[in-house]
Chains A and B, each alone.
Chain A
Amino acid sequence: MAGVTLANRYSIQDVIGVGGMGSVYRARDMHFPNVTKLVAVKEMINSAPDPLVRQTIVQNFEREANLLATLNHASIPRINDYFSLDSRSYLVLDFIHGKDMEAIISDTNGFLPEEQVLGWAVELCDVLEYLHRHKPDPIIFRDMKPSNVMINSNGDVVLVDFGIAKTFQTGIKGTMIGTEGYSPPEQYRGEATPSADIYALGATIHHALTRRDPRLEPPFSFAERPLRRINTSVSPELEAVVNRALEYNPESRFPTAADMKQAILGVAKKTGALGRMKTQTTPIAPAGGIKPLWAFKCEDEVRGTPTIHQGALYIGSYDNNLYALNAADGKFQWKYPADGGIVSRPSLYDGNIYFGSEDKRLHVVSARSGKVVWTYYTEGPIRSSPRIAEGHAFIGSDDGYLHAVNLNTGRASWRFEAADAVRSTPFVMNDLVYVGCETGDYYAVDYRGELKWRFHAKRAITSSTVGSANTIYFTSVDGTLYALDPKNGWPLWRFRLGKASISTPCIIDDFVFVGAADGFIYAVDVRNSKEVWRYRTEHQVNGSPVIYKDSLYCGSVDGNLYCLEYRTGRLRWKFETQGAITGSPLVYDDIVYVGSTDHQVYALLA
């Protein structure tokens, strides 16, 4: 469209908005050749095949033009021209230099300052009051929301899009129209009154101060998320004003926009809003910090995850040892030296401990004595953890194979060739072994080592799989949490994480939890793949979260072990270690065990 001149006068420069029925363009008015006079050209393409529909559309468009022509207010764009070409109609309006409020909200990090929103709210009350006092009939804007409010270069508000504004005739019911989420209950019944605009203004202020888009929340749910619960820097006075504007019953709201303006000015006076410094909020962390029950120091980094069995805690270290500690007091019981670092999580089966090592071997050691039972050689370092099932230990290796090792003979029953190193831990369910590899290929292999189906992610799958009867979950370095059908590998849903992930998901109830390299711990609804909450840590989250009772425990490379309420993501406490936490914590009998690259293994009260 750029370069096109409409009606021999408006030279289109750019598209500034796209709507359901056409675009809005920035254009230059060529009747002023010596100055650059910019205008906004709103285009409506009438592509409806039905003649009756076409006629209705034209009437609506003309109504908007006629309405705007009668208005004169600093916060309402002036209409300059109106014309039709073939099946297209055009409105030519003042061009507003600025940005709409929705863009401002989403482009701002953190919350907008209260005084800024107060200033806009006062001006919006002014323009609503002007519309509502329109003669002979009041005009109801009906579509107050951040994206319809432009903030111009002076910082003043301008209402745009009068497409559904309507002169109000008492007692006449209209159809349901307006923007879901911002509209009051009575507007859904077809009643558009000045009070509906007041509610929508309350909703707009609420959105601006909380960053929560009401279109993504159930309707009329503002009372369930009061301003100050989300944004603690909002004054109680302003919260009261917004609550009143959002009252369920129209009679309980401000009777007029002018009354609401007075109330807002009252807030500004009381809080001394103008020029006040914005206070930064910090999350509440417990005072004094958490003391570990015990800590045990290895000779090098602890990157993996412990296992507990009959009062003993087993964990590998990059000092090449597998340690057995007394879980109650952290006392050393024995250590078993491998020839390489151990990140692999030990598995217990029939009195023996199974784990892999950088020394390319799967080690099998007596749980009681720490004496070697047998070892199995692969051709690459082992970062995967063994999974014991059906008389076999399934384990991946950097040699690019999934190994099925017979527990009785210590020999491979079969090896399945993957496209690259297998660092994820095999997951066994429904007579299939599920495993990902570093090319992003993902395999479901049966007990005979034959491929049942495969899936391909865009990048490495280092994360291990978790599953329930009907879904399996894993993440990839491509920054996606995948949910697949375990029977055939069809993707049910994908959830975009902020960055790559090697964290293994964890599921409980209807939630799946997972960490990512963007530092967030995510909670996602397993049914609809929507984010329930996310919690920001200060560095990558590579380990897997674990759930115990109603808490979620997860380590971060920032060195902290976090304890969150798993339903809300609210911080309960955090415990700082002196190094990165890359493994997963283990919770057993109200005690959390976690290793850190500061060489220590900690036990904390859950």
Chain B
Amino acid sequence: MLKKFFDWLFGRKPPPEKTQDITQTAPLTEEQIQAIVNNQNPHFDLQQLIASCGQSVGKQRELNEDSLLALTATMAGNSGNLPFGLYIVADGMGGHQFGEVASNAAIRAVAGHILKKFHPYLFQVKTDTMDESFQEIMLEAVRDAQRIIQREAPGSGTTLTAALVIGQQVTVAHVGDSRAYFVFPDGRIDPITRDHSLVKRLEELGHITPEEAVNYPHRNVLYRALGQGELLDPDIFTIAFPQPGYLMICSDGLWGVVAEQDIVRSVVDAPSLQRACQNLVSAANAAGGPDNISVVLAQLIG
């Protein structure tokens, strides 16, 4: 039961044949147990969302084709003050022309659409319920961005990983190979998005091994990108914000360069989120900085 709950909580799909295999259950860490307890006794206390971000062009590129947005606010409503956060990383595709045009347009379109929808709730007294769901708003935002990119920079493409945080719910829209992670103070790090890259797909199909994937010549080829193809099918899902834990969104300039365990250490050991972001960017640059680096970190306290 606990295992199932955890798989659900952290988004790992259990292998179907093992769901009833009790002997597979691994001991939980103190922190995991605490998270379960927290979830079973949800409180209506004030919660606070904080975030920070970092960016660098890297050591080898002249142009920054990444775009980033981090916006944190509070929605004052009839059911108390609700944390509101919007965090987006878009990585314009270098192999295509006008990658920076595409990643910029993506951020503007997605954030613009979402903020328009939430404007009455953020800045006016609005009590009636929203007739669109978070996932529908995200999908429309991505479709909007797709139209705008195809008009403003046809043929170009960009990744997009966007997280909309409302209360304890994180709704993610994802296309391409930027990533969102949950990072836990006890050292665990879980990617919550799946790369839409050729190399990842070949790995999933078993055509190449994870070791081969690291040195695969076409590592940055995407099979799904914003601006490409007419029927875009972004991954959109809703998941609970990790508590205790961090939400991290980054471009491959970070995750492709710095080992996951080093990422965790940079985040967990840092005295503040700002410092953590700086540490992550420095680590990617220290490792050669082959690509643009973008990272957003968010934490829900209370």
Q: Which positions in A face B, CB cutoff 8 Å?
A: 19-21, 45, 47-50, 52-53, 56-57, 60, 175-177, 179-180, 185, 188-190, 213, 215-216, 218-221, 248, 430, 452-456, 468-471, 482-483, 485-494, 509-510, 526-529, 549, 567
User: Which residues 237-286 in B have Cβ within 8 Å of A in the complex?
Assistant: 237-240
A492 near B134 with CB under 8 A, answer: yes
- The complex places the Cα of A594 from the Cα of B113 at a distance, in Å, of 49
Instruction: Let me know if B229 is at the binding interface, CB within 8 A.
Output: yes
* Inter-chain contacts of B155 with A (CB < 8 A): 56-57, 60, 175, 177
- The complex places the Cα of A452 from the Cα of B80 at a distance, in Å, of 10
* Inter-chain contacts of A177 with B (CB < 8 A): 155, 228
Question: A185-B202, A218-B201, A456-B128 are known contacts. Are A50 and B153 too (CB-CB below 8 A)?
Answer: yes
Interface string of B1-45 (1 = CB under 8 A from A): 000110111010110100110000000000000000001101010
* Inter-chain contacts of B215 with A (CB < 8 A): none
Which of B129, B130, B221 interacts with A190 by CB under 8 Å?
B221
Instruction: Let me know if B53 is at the binding interface, CB within 8 A.
Output: no
B13 near A510 with CB under 8 A, answer: yes
Which of B39, B207, B228, B237: most chain A CB closer than 10 A?
B237
Q: Can you sample 10 A-B contacts with CB below 8 Å?
A: A56-B97, A176-B221, A180-B224, A220-B201, A454-B129, A456-B129, A487-B167, A491-B130, A491-B133, A491-B134
A189 near B154 with CB under 8 A, answer: no
Closest chain-B Cβ to A468's Cβ sits at a distance in Å of 7
- The complex places the Cα of A474 from the Cα of B235 at a distance, in Å, of 23
Closest chain-A Cβ to B245's Cβ sits at a distance in Å of 14
A455 near B228 with CB under 8 A, answer: no
* Inter-chain contacts of B114 with A (CB < 8 A): none
Instruction: Let me know if B77 is at the binding interface, CB within 8 A.
Output: yes
B223 near A492 with CB under 8 A, answer: no
Give the number of residue pairs across the A-B interface with Cβ within 8 Å: 170
Which of A175, A221, A549, A567 interacts with B96 by CB under 8 Å?
A175
User: Which residues 90-124 in B have Cβ within 8 Å of A in the complex?
Assistant: 95-98, 101
- The complex places the Cα of A469 from the Cα of B9 at a distance, in Å, of 9
Instruction: Let me know if B72 is at the binding interface, CB within 8 A.
Output: no
Closest chain-A Cβ to B166's Cβ sits at a distance in Å of 6
- The complex places the Cα of A179 from the Cα of B232 at a distance, in Å, of 10
A453 near B78 with CB under 8 A, answer: yes
Closest chain-B Cβ to A552's Cβ sits at a distance in Å of 14
* Inter-chain contacts of B212 with A (CB < 8 A): none
* Inter-chain contacts of B229 with A (CB < 8 A): 179-180, 215
B79 near A489 with CB under 8 A, answer: yes
User: Which residues 209-235 in B have Cβ within 8 Å of A in the complex?
Assistant: 218, 221-224, 228-231, 233, 235
- The complex places the Cα of A493 from the Cα of B147 at a distance, in Å, of 23
User: Which residues 109-161 in B have Cβ within 8 Å of A in the complex?
Assistant: 128-130, 132-136, 147, 150-155, 157
A53 near B154 with CB under 8 A, answer: yes
* Inter-chain contacts of B134 with A (CB < 8 A): 490-493
The chain B residue sitting closest to A429, CB to CB, is B42
Instruction: Let me know if B298 is at the binding interface, CB within 8 A.
Output: no
Instruction: Let me know if B74 is at the binding interface, CB within 8 A.
Output: no
A49 near B152 with CB under 8 A, answer: yes
* Inter-chain contacts of A221 with B (CB < 8 A): 205
The chain B residue sitting closest to A527, CB to CB, is B237
User: Which residues 47-83 in B have Cβ within 8 Å of A in the complex?
Assistant: 77-80, 82
A494 near B133 with CB under 8 A, answer: yes
A188 near B130 with CB under 8 A, answer: no
* Inter-chain contacts of A220 with B (CB < 8 A): 201, 205
Closest chain-A Cβ to B201's Cβ sits at a distance in Å of 6
B130 near A490 with CB under 8 A, answer: yes
A20 near B231 with CB under 8 A, answer: no
Which of A48, A175, A213, A471 interacts with B154 by CB under 8 Å?
A48
Which of B129, B147, B151, B235 interacts with A489 by CB under 8 Å?
B129
* Inter-chain contacts of B39 with A (CB < 8 A): 469-470
The chain B residue sitting closest to A442, CB to CB, is B129
Closest chain-B Cβ to A147's Cβ sits at a distance in Å of 8
The chain A residue sitting closest to B153, CB to CB, is A53
Interface string of B167-185 (1 = CB under 8 A from A): 1110100000000000000
A509 near B8 with CB under 8 A, answer: yes
Question: A53-B152, A510-B8 are known contacts. Are A492 and B77 too (CB-CB below 8 A)?
Answer: no
- The complex places the Cα of A527 from the Cα of B171 at a distance, in Å, of 9
Which of A47, A177, A180: most chain B CB closer than 10 A?
A180
The chain B residue sitting closest to A44, CB to CB, is B154
The chain B residue sitting closest to A224, CB to CB, is B205
- The complex places the Cα of A177 from the Cα of B235 at a distance, in Å, of 20
Which of A50, A176, A177: most chain B CB closer than 10 A?
A176
* Inter-chain contacts of B135 with A (CB < 8 A): 492-494, 528-529
Closest chain-A Cβ to B133's Cβ sits at a distance in Å of 4
Closest chain-A Cβ to B12's Cβ sits at a distance in Å of 10
B152 near A215 with CB under 8 A, answer: no
* Inter-chain contacts of B167 with A (CB < 8 A): 485, 487-488, 490
Instruction: Let me know if B189 is at the binding interface, CB within 8 A.
Output: no
- The complex places the Cα of A215 from the Cα of B151 at a distance, in Å, of 22
B166 near A485 with CB under 8 A, answer: yes
* Inter-chain contacts of B82 with A (CB < 8 A): 488
Question: A20-B147, A453-B78 are known contacts. Are A492 and B4 too (CB-CB below 8 A)?
Answer: no
* Inter-chain contacts of B80 with A (CB < 8 A): 488
* Inter-chain contacts of B101 with A (CB < 8 A): 50, 53
* Inter-chain contacts of A176 with B (CB < 8 A): 95-96, 157, 221-223, 228
- The complex places the Cα of A374 from the Cα of B92 at a distance, in Å, of 70
* Inter-chain contacts of B154 with A (CB < 8 A): 20-21, 48, 53, 56-57, 60
Which of B9, B97, B198, B239 interacts with A185 by CB under 8 Å?
B198
Instruction: Let me know if B236 is at the binding interface, CB within 8 A.
Output: yes
Assuming A488-B77, A510-B8, what are 17 further A-B pairs, CB within 8 angstroms? Answer: A21-B151, A53-B152, A53-B153, A175-B96, A176-B222, A180-B224, A455-B129, A470-B240, A485-B167, A488-B167, A490-B129, A490-B130, A491-B129, A509-B7, A528-B235, A528-B236, A567-B16
- The complex places the Cα of A48 from the Cα of B238 at a distance, in Å, of 34
A20 near B198 with CB under 8 A, answer: no
B133 near A483 with CB under 8 A, answer: yes
The chain A residue sitting closest to B129, CB to CB, is A455
* Inter-chain contacts of B44 with A (CB < 8 A): 487
Question: A21-B151, A53-B98, A490-B167 are known contacts. Are A528 and B129 too (CB-CB below 8 A)?
Answer: no
B231 near A215 with CB under 8 A, answer: yes
* Inter-chain contacts of B7 with A (CB < 8 A): 509
The chain B residue sitting closest to A189, CB to CB, is B218
- The complex places the Cα of A215 from the Cα of B229 at a distance, in Å, of 10
* Inter-chain contacts of A485 with B (CB < 8 A): 166-169
Question: A53-B97, A189-B218, A494-B136 are known contacts. Are A453 and B79 too (CB-CB below 8 A)?
Answer: yes
Closest chain-B Cβ to A134's Cβ sits at a distance in Å of 23
The chain B residue sitting closest to A19, CB to CB, is B230
* Inter-chain contacts of A248 with B (CB < 8 A): 207
* Inter-chain contacts of B96 with A (CB < 8 A): 175-176
* Inter-chain contacts of B5 with A (CB < 8 A): 469
- The complex places the Cα of A456 from the Cα of B101 at a distance, in Å, of 41
Closest chain-A Cβ to B138's Cβ sits at a distance in Å of 10
* Inter-chain contacts of B132 with A (CB < 8 A): 491, 494
Which of A179, A456, A492, A509: most chain B CB closer than 10 A?
A492
* Inter-chain contacts of A219 with B (CB < 8 A): 201, 223
The chain A residue sitting closest to B150, CB to CB, is A20
A470 near B168 with CB under 8 A, answer: yes
* Inter-chain contacts of B16 with A (CB < 8 A): 567
Closest chain-B Cβ to A548's Cβ sits at a distance in Å of 12
